[in-house]
Amino acid sequence: MRVKKFLKRAAYFLLIIFVLLNALFIWQAFAFTHFSNKKIPKQEHTSAFEQKFNRIFGKQHPRQLVVDSLTVPHQSLFIQSDTLKLAAWYLKHNTDSIAKGTVIMFHGYGSSRSEIIPEATALYNMQYNVFMVDFRGHGQSEGNECSMGYFESHDVRSAYNFIKSNGEKNIILWGGSMGAASVTKAMHDDTTLKPSKIILEKCFGKMTDAVRGFTENSMHQSNKALITMLTFWGSVEQGVWMFNMKPEQYVKSINCPALIQWGDHDENVTKEETESIYKNIGSSKKQLVIYPNCGHENLLLKDPSLWKSSVINFLNS
Domain residue limits, the chain: 1-35+47-62+222-244, 65-206+245-316
Q: List pLDDT tens digits, range 267-315.
A: 999 999 999 999 999 999 999 999 999 999 999 999 999 999 999 999 9
83: CB partners within 8 A, 6+ apart: none
Tell me the C-alpha distance between 83 and 287, whole Å: 37
Q: 163 CB contacts (<8 Å, ≥6 apart)?
A: 102, 104, 131, 171
Task: List the Cα angle 268/269/271 in 5-degree steps.
Answer: 140
Choose among 203, 200, 119, 131: nearest CA to 160. Answer: 131
Selection from 22-26, 38-42, 86-90 with the highest mean pLDDT:
86-90
pTM reported for the whole predicted model: 0.90
Level-2 CATH architecture, domain 65-206+245-316: 3-Layer(aba) Sandwich (3.40)
Q: What's the confidence (pLDDT) of residue 44?
A: 47
Question: Residue 1 has what pLDDT?
Answer: 64
Give the DSSP per-residue string, 73-98.
--EEEEEEETTEEEEEEEE--SSTTT
For the four alpha carbons of 79, 81, 87 and 93, in that order, the dihedral sign comes to negative
